[in-house]
Amino acid sequence: MISEAGLARFAREVAKYPADQKQSAVMACLAVVQQELGHVGVESEKLVADYLGMAPIAVHEVTTFYNMYNQRPLGKYKLNVCTNLPCQLRDGTKALRHLEHKLGITMGQTTADGMFTLQQSECLGACADAPVLLVNDRTMCSFMGNEKLDQLVDGLMAAGVAP
C-alpha cells in the first residue's frame, strides 16, 4: 500500500499536467511507489493505472522500458556502478569488481542477508566524478576508489536496518 504522503506526491505530480493528460505523471508515480515499496510489482502497476485512468498494460510498458524501475524485490541498498567508457577509463570497472569481491556476489545478484544488490549501470551523467555509483536511485556517490567503497559498504552494514 502507498502511504498518505505518497498519494499526496501522486497528486502533486498530476497537477503539473493538463487535466486530460494525467498519464504524464506515470513515471513520477512509479518512482514514488519504488521509493516506498522498494520495487514496482503488478499490484502497484494496477494501483497507478487506476489512479491515472490508464490501462495496466500501459503502465507495465513504462515499468519495463526504463532501466531504473525494479521489477522484483532487491536488496535494501541497490548499488548501480557506472562502467561506461568515461568511467571505465577511470576505474569504474575496477570499482564494480571490487564490490563483487567485497560483497561476495557477481553483478546482478543480491547478498544473502538481503542488504545489497549490485548492478552494472550505463551512464549516470557524472563522468568527471568517476568512479561513480548510484545508491537506491537517489544518491550519487562520487570518486569512489576502493577505500571509499569499503567505507561505504562497512558504514551501511553498521547502520543495519535503520533507513
Partner 1 sequence: MMASQILAQFQATGVETCFHDRHISPQIYAGLDGSNWRLKDYQARGGYAALRKMLAADGAPGLTPDQVIATVKESALRGRGGAGFPTGLKWSFMPRQFPGQKYLVCNSDEGEPGTCKDRDILQFNPHIVIEGMVIAAYAMGISVGYNYIHGEIFKTYDRFEEALEEARAAGLLGDAILGSAFNFQLHAVHGFGAYICGEETALLESLEGKKGQPRFKPPFPASFGMYGKPTTINNTETFAAVPWIIRNGGAAYLACGKPNNGGTKIYSVSGDVEKPGNYEVPMGTPFARLLEIAGGVRSGRQLKAVIPGGSSAPILPAAVMMDCTMDYDSIAKAGSMLGSGAVIVLDDSRCMVKSLQRLSYFYMHESCGQCTPCREGTGWLSRMVDRVENGQGRASDMDLLNSVADNIQGRTICALGDAAAMPVRAMIKHFRHEFEYHVEHKICMVPAYV
Among 44, 83, 110, 117, binds partner 1 (CB under 8 A): 83
Q: Residue 144 corresponds to which amino acid?
A: M
Q: Please, which residues have CB within 8 angstroms of residue 69's CB and are 6 or more apart in sequence?
A: 30, 34, 39, 40, 62, 63
Q: Decide: 46 and 33 in contact? Cβ < 8 Å.
A: no
CB of 75 to partner 1, least distance (A): 13
Q: Does 99 bind partner 1 (CB under 8 A)?
A: no
Q: Phi first, then psi: what are they for 133, rounded to 5°?
A: -145, 155
Check residue 124 for interaction with partner 1 (CB under 8 A): yes
- Cα separations in angstroms, 138 against 4, 28, 94, 126: 21, 13, 23, 13
6, 36, 38, 58: residue in contact with partner 1 (rule CB under 8 A): 58
Determine which residue in the list 88, 109, 111, 146 makes contact with partner 1, applying CB under 8 A: 88
Q: Looking at 47, 54, 99, 103, which residue binds partner 1 (CB under 8 A)? A: 54
Size of the site for partner 1 (CB under 8 A): 59
49 binds partner 1 (CB under 8 A): no
Window contacting partner 1 (CB under 8 A); options: 1-9, 20-28, 105-113? 20-28
Is residue 34 within 8 Å of 67, Cβ to Cβ?
Answer: no
3-state secondary structure of 28: helix
Nearer to partner 1, 2 or 149 (CB): 149
Question: Under the criterion CB under 8 A, does residue 25 sit at the interface with partner 1?
Answer: yes
